[in-house]
Amino acid sequence: MTNVVTPDLNRGDRIGIDEAVLCDSKSDADLIYILKDAIEGNHSLLLTRLFETSFDKLPIDIKKNIDYDAVSATGFFGPLKELKESSLVAIVTAGTSDNCVAREASRTLRHAGEPSTSFDDLGVAGLWRILEKEPDLRTYPVVIVAAGMDGALFGVVGGLVPGTIIAVPTSVGYGAARNGETALAVALSNCAPGILTVNIDSGYGAACAALRILRQIRDS
């Protein structure tokens, strides 16, 4: 009755994105098994949703191999890729509460060697904030926007800039914000044309999608 792990080692060659480990749904034993296996195989891994209480429970000899960031609950395991020079991705947040999601995106990009640029706390309740950044934002081919609650920032950015817009609805807010479901529905039913969406709080998903796009841009 032992279970085995079947890592998808050639994913990077196949689709350009290496396999990452989604930690929070795994038992402690399975997580340790996977990481030990990676140490032995000398793999490089991105760990996501590795929340602090789980990280703290890892054995010290595994922990010391992880470059851990508590805000984004991500870890880099093993050596990192070289960082490219030009940043082609802007990451915009509506408020400081969206930081953790934005950081998951930037860390995922960094793990793949892609730099990104942060534009923080630009919610539309103070519209001058996003208008002030508009000229700068227009220069990025990919713009990731993280926003919760009413998600109004998605459409405002989508109507202002020509880059690819990837909306990340966040679970910020209470009551009718419904743990991000409202921001998600807003991203999907947007008046601004061509807004793309990923799962609630999925900075990782937004970054992976950006990697698919960037590959085409950098290669062409």
Residues within window 19-38 making contact with a second copy, judged by CB under 8 A: 19-20, 22, 24-27, 29-30, 34
CB 219 within 8 A of CB 191: no
Give the DSSP letter of residue 97. Answer: G
Instruction: Look at residue 45 and give its three-state secondary structure.
Output: strand
Instruction: State yes or no: residue 45 binds a second copy (CB under 8 A).
Output: no
Of residues 126 through 165, those in contact with a second copy by CB under 8 A are 126-127, 129, 141-142, 148-152, 154-156, 158-165
Give every CB contact of residue 57 below 8 A, 6+ residues apart in sequence: 28
Q: Which residue of 73, 111, 197, 203 would you call a contact of a second copy, by CB under 8 A?
A: 197
Nearer to a second copy, 42 or 86 (CB): 86
Nearer to a second copy, 9 or 61 (CB): 9
Instruction: State yes or no: residue 216 binds a second copy (CB under 8 A).
Output: yes
Choose the binding region for a second copy from 36-44, 52-60, 78-86, 198-206 (rule: CB under 8 A).
198-206
Spatial distance between the Cα atoms of 170 and 184, rounded to a whole number of angstroms: 8
Spatial distance between the Cα atoms of 66 and 162, rounded to a whole number of angstroms: 38
Of residues 94 through 113, those in contact with a second copy by CB under 8 A are 94-97, 99-100, 102-103, 106-107
Residue-level length of the chain: 220
Choose the binding region for a second copy from 37-45, 56-64, 73-81, 195-203 (rule: CB under 8 A).
195-203
Nearer to a second copy, 43 or 129 (CB): 129
By rule CB under 8 A, what count of residues binds a second copy? 108
Instruction: Look at residue 187 and give its three-state secondary structure.
Output: helix
Choose the binding region for a second copy from 50-58, 59-67, 73-81, 189-197 (rule: CB under 8 A).
189-197
| Chain CA centroid to CA 11, Å | 18
Spatial distance between the Cα atoms of 48 and 130, rounded to a whole number of angstroms: 29
Instruction: State yes or no: residue 194 binds a second copy (CB under 8 A).
Output: yes
Distances, alpha carbon 157 to alpha carbons 83, 170, 192, in Å: 27, 16, 9
Choose the binding region for a second copy from 17-25, 35-43, 56-64, 74-82 (rule: CB under 8 A).
17-25
Tokens at 152, concatenated: 């109004």
Angle, in degrees to the nearest 10, between helices 203-219 and 99-111: 40
